[in-house]
Amino acid sequence: MKLTILAVPDCPNAPLLRQRITHALAGQPATEITWHEVTNQEQAERLGMHGSPTLLIDGVDPFAAPGQPTSLSCRLYRDQRTASGAPSTDQLRGVLQAQRE
């Protein structure tokens, strides 16, 4: 499994995503994580960025709604209770587990 993080320069939510991914992957097999800084809309379209930060698992954004356009904007992730600038650790564990299965 390959994880790719797409973020605009100085994205304030990128460190939060890094922290939550680290917690979600604790005790799991080694996983390759690549970070890409996205600076323009053309890159966002080519890489599949749906707001910053975007997590791709094997090239797919598990949090993107069908038809969601690419974007350089800040991104919000929602769970049953709140919205945050990064998926929760539980949300990350869920999509990572689903990808492993």
The phi and psi torsions of 6 (rounded to 5 degrees) equal -110, 130
Q: Tell me the HSE value of 39 on the side-chain side, using a 13 A CA sphere.
A: 2
Alpha helices in the chain (DSSP H): 14-25, 41-47, 89-100
Number of compact structural domains in the chain: 1
Residue 28 is predicted with a pLDDT of: 84
CATH number for the domain that contains residue 31? 3.40.30
Which secondary-structure segment (H or E) carries 31? Answer: none
Task: State the first-to-last Cα distance of the chain, in angstroms, to the nearest integer.
Answer: 11
Using an 8 Å Cβ cutoff, are 64 and 53 in contact? no
Which parts of the chain have pLDDT scores under 50? none
Q: What is the pTM of this model?
A: 0.91
Domain that holds residue 64: 2-100
